[in-house]
Amino acid sequence: MKMKTLMSLLAVLLLASAQGLWAGGSQPPASEEVYEIKIGHANIPADNSALHVTGMVFEELVEKYSNGRIQAEIYPSGQLGSDAEMADLVVSGAQEVLVTSLNLITQYAPRFRAFLLPYMFENNENFRKARAALWDEFNDYLVERANMRLITLWDSGYRHVMSTKPVYTLDDLKKLKFRVPPSPVMIEMVKSWGVSPTPVEWSEVFNALQLGVIDAIEVDDSVLISARMNEVVKFITNDDHILQVSVAVMSQDFYEKLPPDLQEAVDRAAKDSISRVDARSTGILEEAVEVSKKEQGVQFLGRPKDYDVWAEKARTSWGKFYGDIGGGDEALGKEIVAKIFAAAE
């Protein structure tokens, strides 16, 4: 009788074990659940791409600080869609993280456009001071306005004029066919200079410069290598009109699904990624400049002779964006810009 009881108990245990295997094994406690993150961006997966490097830094840190309970995978080259499509996916919660230009995010959270006004920051250290001082305020705004939260916000150097003919003054630029991206801020800036922008898709810019369809563009130095622009531009005029700012954002829906300890891991990874991304971005720009000088013979002309005129005229366009920055309230928009200025000092 005892033997039958023992055999019956053993059979029950074996059956329970088998059922557990069929069901995928025993489920870990909720606190030990593994969460997966898709990190998307539109650049190639290269060490000289600040977007890709940012994705790698956050991937490393968030997996480390979560003890592997958050697993990240990077999807470069627009594998998850265009920048605009990926942004919509993050807003809806279908994608966890996007690394892109801040300009794209201003379509969802226009207050961030204050960071992109022409001649807003005298140098990138001014930007970094403002970023640190106003991080929480702008993150809260992004969460409320766009259902995203900040992971990293960094600068990739200044945007300036790159051309096939030398540009020493604003009058020199007026003689050229100048391509400007379809950004309201940049279009108004160029108009304030008395220049008519030539519309060309970014994918066609290389050939357009090569064939003389356009004579000049405005970009930051990273594209000298990443987009091979150092093969077609001959001169760079450091008018430094807008600081190129990029961003990594996370879906707020995903963040709220995480248990508190993993939210802390995300926050810690975000905080610690900033200095590493800053340093790597600076290194990418320095490499791009040196390679372009030594291997392609690109000439860096320094600041235009009439730099103050460029800055003064461009700043007259600010008022056209106060309403947008303030969510329809021009006074608020002006106040926000003034607050960033004060924080940058």
CA distance 161 to 54: 26
Residue 105: inside a domain, yes or no? yes
- Cβ-contact 80, 38 below 8 angstroms: yes
- Cβ-contact 100, 42 below 8 angstroms: yes
Give 135-164 pLDDT, tens digit per residue: 999 999 999 999 999 999 999 899 999 999
Residue 311: inside a domain, yes or no? yes
Tokens at residue 280, please? Answer: 């790597």
Amino acid at 284: I
pLDDT level of residue 29 (50, 70, 90 thresholds): low
Cβ contacts of 34 within 8 Å, gap of 6 or more: 68, 69, 70, 71
Give 41-85 pLDDT, tens digit per residue: 998 899 888 999 999 999 999 999 999 999 999 999 999 999 999
Residue 290: inside a domain, yes or no? yes
Residue 304: inside a domain, yes or no? yes
pLDDT level of residue 32 (50, 70, 90 thresholds): confident
Name the residue with higher pLDDT: 329 or 202. Answer: 329
CA distance 96 to 72: 9
- When divided into structural domains, the chain yields a total of 1
Domain of residue 190, CATH code = 3.40.190.170
Residue 23: inside a domain, yes or no? no
Tokens at residue 11, please? Answer: 């059979």
pTM of the model: 0.84
Tokens at residue 83, please? Answer: 């920048």
Residue 163: inside a domain, yes or no? yes
Is the per-residue pLDDT at 17 higher than 60? no
**By residue range, what is the domain housing residue 240?**
34-344
Residue 4: inside a domain, yes or no? no
pLDDT at 82: 92
Residue 85: inside a domain, yes or no? yes
Name the residue with higher pLDDT: 205 or 227. Answer: 205
